[in-house]
Amino acid sequence: MYDAPKIAVRVENEVSNPTEYICGVRQGCPASPILFDFYINDIFKGVRGVRVPGLTSRIPGLLFADDAVLLAESSVDLQNALNTITEWSDTWEMAVNASKCGIMTISGELTTDMTLQGQKVNSTDQYTYLGYIMNSKWDVSGTIKNNKNKVRKAVYAAYSFLRRSDVLRELKIKFINSVLMPIECYGGETFGMSEARCKPIQSEIDKAIRMVANVGKSAAMERIRGGLTI
């Protein structure tokens, strides 16, 4: 499959002459994500990581596709981890764009510059990982606000569907439970499900429920949610 692979470039109706390439995976090939996972799976080898209560081994970081998060207990450990990533990247001819990287400290300040492949890595107070917003103070308000805005956009996009009289109510309820609710609860393990915290998000869900039930703002939402099994 990768014996002397070739690549060509199409611009409108013209296709360039094929040329061989010596690194990388085929774009659009079903095997490419799996091959890339094998390729990058040892990137954390040699990284000290952090201790997590209840676990016997240290956790070096988080890895999802080409998104990597390093975890360190001190600035010295962090720079050592960055050096390990630099060595791995240089060995396998990978270039890291440090401008897309950031360092977030928890309960402390970074007093020295951190470098990755000879590039300075800037500090940040907020970081988004797989759609979840984290900040240096462990404040979850940003995540709740982000979930609220995403639910609002989803409700707006489905407005005509929710208002249609020729669509079964059961399908609308299914949409709320299978689409809107997962958006609402994303990252809920960190901010919990208390009524006070979830109220901003729940208010957006209730807009969709009112459309399905065809009731106004003064309706008793708790009773309606129970009646619709939402």
CB 183 within 8 A of CB 151: yes
The token pair that represents 18 in the structure block: 């094929």
User: Which segment, 5-14, 62-71, 83-92, 215-224, is predicted with the most confidence on average?
Assistant: 83-92
- Shortest CA distance to 48 belongs to which of 64, 75, 71, 68? 71
Query: Strand pairing partners for 114?
Result: 121
Ranges of each domain in the chain: 1-30, 42-129, 140-227
Q: What is the pLDDT of residue 1?
A: 66
Distance from C-alpha of 217 to C-alpha of 204, rounded to nearest angstrom: 12
Distance from C-alpha of 218 to C-alpha of 216, rounded to nearest angstrom: 6
Helices assigned H by DSSP within 120-194: 141-157, 159-163, 169-175, 181-185, 188-191
- Shortest CA distance to 113 belongs to which of 74, 79, 70? 79
Q: What digits encode the pLDDT tens for the residues 59-99? A: 999 998 888 999 999 999 999 999 999 999 999 888 888 88
User: Is the predicted pLDDT of residue 27 greater than 80, yes or no?
Assistant: no
pTM over 0.85: no
φ/ψ of residue 63, rounded to 5: -140, 120
